[in-house]
């Protein structure tokens, strides 16, 4: 199974410890796919600074194909993070050279050689997903907490599997949000709810999944690892409950250490 991940990357700088970790939604998914035995590639833009080199080296060490990553003059995206009782809290964010990222026709051709393409809200590729979907390649899109944002609204009609996070809404309100996303075109819509598990919808039925017992050291990357676990089982042809269970199991692993990976 081959999953191509395209879009944003960043260095997560933990202000309270001074630790630095590579991250970003599609970057994390690419690493977790490798962790579960799949093949993955990452496409995005990093700077010519030391942090750009850090991200590329870390991904190569994990076995992720990075040969189409663009290295542009300037700074790599940087996200400030604080860890409070195991919960990651985001601060300031500098997009760096990712602000200049755009797919070339060659990039689209490369992505279409994979079994599935993953991107997200800050990936700057939402306007290119129609080209990928038109080739019959499944697209997964992570809307973060904001499926109503413009980038998500552009992406969702060309998306096969949509993900978003919402740990605040009650179940009925959450189902309303899920149905609103599904009405835009995705075949499957999944909402992750933090410690309350996840809810998924496919056509006519809702499914729920709880979290697995684990020691939580850092929530960074938990949602991305859920997505990776879910997608791996989806590509194996498993049903929605099996995909959700795999997502929960993958997330539990990531919660057990500091940093996304």
- pLDDT attached to residue 260: 65
> For every residue of 101-163, which 3-state class applies, written as one string?
CCCCHHHHHHHCCCCEEEEECCCCCHHHHHHHHHCCCCEEEECCCCCCCHHHHHHHHHCCEEE
Q: What are the pLDDT digits (tens) for 112-146? A: 999 999 999 999 999 999 999 999 999 999 999 99
Judged by phi (left if over 0) then psi (alpha if -120 to 50, else beta), residue 202 lies in: beta
Q: What are the pLDDT digits (tens) for 153-162? A: 999 999 999 9
Checking if the pLDDT of 5 tops 90, the result is: yes
Checking if the pLDDT of 37 tops 80, the result is: yes
Checking if the pLDDT of 18 tops 90, the result is: no
Lowest-confidence region among 77-81, 85-89, 152-156 = 85-89
Q: What are the pLDDT digits (tens) for 50-67? A: 999 999 999 999 999 999
- pLDDT attached to residue 259: 66
Q: Which two tokens stand for residue 208?
A: 């729920």
DSSP track, 55-85: HHHHHHHTT-B-TT-EEESSPPPEEEEEEET
State how far the Cα of 242 lies from the Cα of 234, in Å rounded to an integer: 8
Checking if the pLDDT of 169 tops 90, the result is: yes
State how far the Cα of 27 lies from the Cα of 50, in Å rounded to an integer: 17
Residue at token pair 């500091």: 258
Summarize the confidence of residues 219-228 as an average pLDDT: 89
- pLDDT attached to residue 216: 83
Summarize the confidence of residues 3-16 as an average pLDDT: 92
- pLDDT attached to residue 14: 85
- pLDDT attached to residue 132: 98
Cβ atoms 193, 167 nearer than 8 A: yes
Checking if the pLDDT of 218 tops 80, the result is: no
């Amino acid at each position: 199974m081959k999953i191509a991940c395209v879009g944003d990357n960043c260095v997560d700088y933990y202000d309270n410890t001074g630790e630095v970790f590579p991250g970003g939604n599609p970057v994390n998914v690419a690493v977790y796919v490798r962790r579960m035995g799949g093949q993955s590639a990452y496409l995005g833009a990093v700077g010519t600074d030391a942090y750009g080199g850090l991200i590329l080296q870390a991904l190569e060490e994990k076995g992720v194909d990075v040969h189409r990553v663009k290295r542009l003059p300037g700074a790599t995206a940087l996200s400030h993070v604080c860890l409070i009782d195991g919960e990651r809290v985001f601060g300031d964010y500098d997009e760096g050279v990712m602000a200049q990222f755009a797919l070339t026709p060659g990039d689209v051709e490369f992505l279409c050689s994979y079994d599935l393409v993953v991107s997200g809200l800050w990936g700057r590729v939402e306007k290119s997903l129609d080209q990928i979907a038109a080739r019959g390649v499944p697209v997964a899109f992570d809307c973060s907490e904001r499926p109503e944002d413009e980038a998500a609204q552009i992406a969702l009609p060309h998306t096969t599997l949509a993900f978003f996070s919402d740990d605040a809404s009650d179940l009925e309100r959450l189902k309303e949000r899920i149905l609103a996303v599904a009405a835009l075109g995705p075949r499957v819509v999944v909402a992750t709810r933090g410690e309350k598990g996840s809810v998924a919808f496919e056509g006519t039925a809702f499914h729920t999944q709880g979290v697995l017992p684990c020691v939580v050291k850092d929530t960074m990357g938990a949602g991305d690892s859920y997505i990776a676990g879910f997608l791996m089982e989806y590509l194996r042809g498993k049903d929605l409950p099996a995909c959700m269970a795999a997502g929960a199991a993958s997330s539990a692993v990531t919660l057990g250490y500091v940093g996304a990976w």
